[in-house]
Homo-oligomer: A and B are copies of this chain.
Amino acid sequence: MRISELSRRSGVSVTTIKYYLREGLLPPGRQTAATQAEYDEQHLRRLRLIRALTGVRGLSVSTTRDLLDALARHTGDTHRTLGLTLGAIRLADEPTAEAPEAGEVDALVKELGWEVHQSAPARAALAETLASLRSLGVPLDWHTLLPYGRLAERTALLDLDQLDGIEDPLEVAERALLLAVLLEPALLALRRMAQENESSRRHADGGPQPA
């Protein structure tokens, strides 16, 4: 198909598609002439993936590119892909020069018995949050996070269960990315609702009156 059809079927404007091509988010089409190229279903799929990542999850274009690059590099390596592609995401982008809370994160990971790469960005993200909360006078130490860690463990079980039974390694990698990244806003939304529920339950007065 040509670019206009790709645009029509994806709902993304031609100029934006050109922008994604320029930025390397979308691989170029097969050139058929100096001013003509042919796109296929893969491009359409990729385009939808890009829109989901940037739109739903709110990832920046450059983060999305990094993610897609990682995805392309590591296909055929099944589960391993997951950790690697995830490593490409950074929520906050400054490493802030190794927070002193890193030691606490080490302790937490050790206590949980997890095997997590030392350079995983998630470690820094966690340390940074601890540092922030502390500077705001919230005395949260790693012991408090332990039960959260146990729950995260069970969440991860559910996540990986979803990948079982898929044969094509390319598809495993893509689905892993989708579930890992796109499910995040959904899980946060669930947590919000659960909090609202639990809060009204404890307070026993708020919220819409029960039937």
Residues in chain A within 8 A of chain B (CB atoms): 45, 48-49, 52, 55-56, 58, 78-80, 82-83, 86, 89, 91-92, 109, 114-118, 120, 122-123, 125-126, 128-130, 132-133, 135-138, 144-145, 147-149, 151-160, 162, 175, 178-180, 182-203, 205-208, 210
Contact = CB atoms under 8 A, between A and B. Distances in A.
The secondary structure that dominates the A interface is helix
A56 B190 CA distance: 21
3 smallest A-B Cβ distances: which pairs?
Answer: A156-B194, A152-B190, A122-B189
Contact of A79 (B122, B178, B203): B203
A45 B196 CA distance: 26
A123 B79 CA distance: 31
Given A120-B192, A138-B178, A206-B79, A126 B186 contact: yes
A186 to B, nearest CB: 4
A198 B156 contact: yes
Contacts of A153: 194, 197-198
Q: Which of A48, A153, A156 has the most CB of B within 10 A?
A: A156
Contacts of A195: 82-83, 86, 156, 159-160, 180
7 contacts: A55-B92, A80-B199, A114-B193, A125-B189, A149-B194, A160-B199, A187-B191
